[in-house]
Homo-oligomer: A and B are copies of this chain.
């Protein structure tokens, strides 16, 4: 077998010890990747990442996210046609379409009932949670949509940092045509699309992206409040 770049990647994948980054390392090393190595993400590795992402926080633990995992080239070409044409999608071995089930808040009520029966939620907490979900999601389709999107973005971010912690990298993108994705992939009408995210082993120089200074972001105690020692 000729010692091609692909063969080198395959051998490296066999001999490299598993990467285990701290959260700090994962966050500091994060950068959105556009060019990935051709080697596959082993399915066991992908399942580990998906399992860990499943531990993501969500409001009332409702978990409205759904992952459509695209690995076949023809599927990745289809999703490429629904975006602004990010090269990451064709370069990466895996593309995750992060979907948000806008009806999940309805199903959540029966999940809560199960928690009450298991002694993990009091009857008062159950009634409060149902009342709040009804107010947030039941009074307008937009409320239900935002609830599902907010929580799906939490899980996607957890997934991205987990991938980073495992030595992989991601390239998320917001520039896509939601309706076209829904039609192209025959998604249920209650699924919103929150993001499209490439996943794989990075094959590019690390070029840390710029960030706003904390002074532009953080307001202490009041809007516009400067940093002073807490009372």
Listed in ascending order, the chain A residues whose CB lies under 8 Å from chain B are 20-24, 26-28, 30, 32, 40, 43, 47, 50-57, 59-61, 63, 65-73, 75, 84, 93, 115, 120, 128-129, 132, 136, 142, 145-147, 149-151, 153-154, 156-158, 160-162, 164-166, 170, 172-175, 185-188, 194-195, 207, 209-212, 214, 217-223, 227, 229-231
Contact = CB atoms under 8 A, between A and B. Distances in A.
Q: How many copies of this chain sit in the oligomeric assembly? A: 2
A223 B150 contact: no
Contacts of A26: 23
B165 A230 contact: no
The 8 closest A-B pairs by CB, nearest first: A23-B165, A59-B174, A157-B157, A153-B153, A71-B230, A132-B175, A154-B157, A27-B55
A155 to B, nearest CB: 8
B128 A55 contact: no
Given A24-B166, A65-B217, 8 more contacts: A22-B23, A27-B56, A43-B229, A57-B172, A59-B175, A68-B222, A132-B175, A161-B161
